[in-house]
Amino acid sequence: MSETQDKRGRPAAKDRPFLDELEAKPFWANLKEHKFTSQRCSACGKFFGFPPQFLCPHCLASEYEWIPLSGKGKVYSFVTYHRAWHPAYQDKVPYNVSLIETEEGVRMMSNVVGCPPEAVKIGMPVEIVYEDFEDYTLPKFRPAT
């Protein structure tokens, strides 16, 4: 298996988002400018949360705005991986994956970085940190200062 393909020629999972997915395009574009945003419904006022979509998951209205989030939140749950499930993660184990709940009540999967995985706890306050790559940015979180 290469980094980008498995031996049957399908794209291998790798920590790279689908930047061109229509619903999510503004999210990745905003993130590239270090703006962490989520859709908020213009009809019912609730946040869509992730994954982004064209219709409000609560009331099915189609009008929404991309609203900046504070970037602050807490760890809802977490796991520490000790095995690499893909060659791309070979040099990363052990690594953390956490379900983050933002102050606005939006949840997203991410990694808590900037502390050892064993220091991560449920309820731990965290804040966003932008991890820049050549053509995109990933939202990660670190213990809140």
Sites of contact with other proteins (CB under 8 A): 1, 6-8, 12-18, 21, 24, 49-51, 57, 76-83, 85-87, 89, 92, 94-95, 97, 99, 107-111, 117, 122, 138
Q: How far is the CB of 11 from other proteins (least distance, A)?
A: 10
**Exposure string over 79-100, b if 16+ CB within 10 A, otherwise e:** eeeeeeeeebeeeeeebbebeb
Residue closer to other proteins, measured from CB, 14 or 34: 14
Q: How far is the CB of 81 from other proteins (least distance, A)?
A: 5
CA distance 58 to 103: 19
Residue closer to other proteins, measured from CB, 35 or 95: 95
CA distance 130 to 70: 13
Which segments of 41-89 does DSSP mark as H helices, in order? none
Q: How far is the CB of 100 from other proteins (least distance, A)?
A: 9
Residue closer to other proteins, measured from CB, 7 or 33: 7
Residue type, 66: W
Q: How far is the CB of 112 from other proteins (least distance, A)?
A: 10
Measured torsion, CA atoms of residues 23, 27, 28, 33, in degrees rounded to the nearest 10: 150
